[in-house]
Amino acid sequence: GAVVSQHPSRVICKSGTSVKIECRSLDFQATTMFWYRQFPKQSLMLMATSNEGSKATYEQGVEKDKFLINHASLTLSTLTVTSAHPEDSSFYICSARIPLLAGYNEQFFGPGTRLTVL
Amino acid sequence: GDSVTQMEGPVTLSEEAFLTINCTYTATGYPSLFWYVQYPGEGLQLLLKATKADDKGSNKGFEATYRKETTSFHLEKGSVQVSDSAVYFCALSDPFNDYKLSFGAGTTVTVRA
C-alpha cells in the first residue's frame, strides 16, 4: 500500500516551453502533497505544499508563477514548470502524506521526474 | 528552525563491514525521525522511523535509536552488502512546523565486493 506514482519519469523540452508533471497517490487519498526539487548530489529542497481544493503554499524563494501547482483531487497533484529554462533542469520529486493519525506523520515519495531543458 | 546534520560522505566500505552514519537534529517540538534511502535515479524510500524518544527503528538489518538527550538518530548496519550502495538521508518531521520534512544533506555509501 501507500504507492505514489509520477509521470513522466523523464522529460526533455526546449527552452521557453511549459512542462506538466503529475503526481498520483494510487491506493490512498492524500489531502496534502509536497513537491521537492533535488540538484545533483544534493538534498531535497521543499518547493511547495499542495492541499486539495485550495491554493498551494510555496516556500520562500520559490516563484509561484513559475511553478504552478494544482491539487484538483484527493489523488492527483500537478506541477507545471512554465517557460522553462536550462536552470530549471533538475530532479523533481513529489510526496503524499497520509492523513494525520494521532499526530503521526509519514510521507510517501514518488519515483521522481528528471527534467532537462535544452 | 528545524535542521538535520548528518555525516558527510562519501563513505566507501567493503562487503560485510560495519556501517555507521551519524545524524543529529534541532527541532522546535518533539519530532518524528526518519531515515530514507535513495537508489540511483530513483525517488526516496523510507528505510526506518522512530516517533518518540528511545524508540528504535529497524529494517533490512539497519537500526537507529531516537536519542533525545543527544538529539541524535545514528544509522547502523552490522554487515553491509553491495546492494546497500545508495544515498541515505536523515530527516525529521516537526509538529510545530506542520509536520513538514526537513532533510539532512545525504550521505553517499558505496559498498565494494
Q: Are the C-beta atoms of residues B52 and A103 closer than 8 Å to each other?
A: no
Judged by a CB distance cut-off of 8 A, whether residue B100 touches chain A is: yes
Nearest to B43 among A105, A106, A109 (CB): A109
Backbone angles phi, psi at B11, to 5 degrees: -115, 130
Give me chain A's average pLDDT, please: 90
Average pLDDT over residues A35-54: 88
How many CB atoms are located within 10 Å of the residue A118 CB?
10
**What pLDDT is stored for residue B1 in this prediction?**
82
Give the list of residues 6+ apart from residue B84 with CB closer than 8 angstroms, or none: B19, B77, B109, B111
**What pLDDT is stored for residue A3 in this prediction?**
87
**What pLDDT is stored for residue A104 in this prediction?**
58
Give me chain B's average pLDDT, please: 93
Average pLDDT over residues A85-113: 84
Confidence band, pLDDT 50/70/90 cuts, at residue A1: low
Of A2 and B39, the structure prediction assigns the larger pLDDT to B39
Nearest to B99 among A105, A108, A110 (CB): A105
All three cell numbers of B29: 517540538
pLDDT tens digits, one per residue of B44-79: 899 999 999 999 999 999 999 999 999 999 999 999
- From chain B, pick out residues whose CB is under 8 angstroms from the CB of A106: 32, 34, 46, 49, 93
Asked if pLDDT for residue A99 goes beyond 80, the answer is no
- From chain B, pick out residues whose CB is under 8 angstroms from the CB of A6: 43
Count the helices and strands in chain B (H runs, E runs): 0, 12
Beta carbons of A108 and B46 less than 8 Å apart = yes
Nearest to A100 among B36, B99, B106 (CB): B99
- Rounded Cα–Cα distance for residues A66 and A108 (Å): 25
**What pLDDT is stored for residue A103 in this prediction?**
53
Average pLDDT over residues B9-23: 96
pLDDT tens digits, one per residue of A51-68: 888 889 999 999 999 999
**What pLDDT is stored for residue A106 in this prediction?**
76
Average pLDDT over residues A98-115: 78
Asked if pLDDT for residue B112 goes beyond 70, the answer is yes
Asked if pLDDT for residue B30 goes beyond 60, the answer is yes
Tell me the β-bridge partners of A73: A76
**What pLDDT is stored for residue B95 in this prediction?**
80
Sign of CA dihedral A66, B98, A42, A35: negative
- Rounded Cα–Cα distance for residues B1 and A34 (Å): 19
Which chain A residue has its CA at the smallest distance from B51's CA? A104
Of A45 and B29, the structure prediction assigns the larger pLDDT to A45
Confidence band, pLDDT 50/70/90 cuts, at residue B103: very high
- From chain A, pick out residues whose CB is under 8 angstroms from the CB of B103: 43-44
> How many CB pairs below 8 Å do chains A and B form together?
53
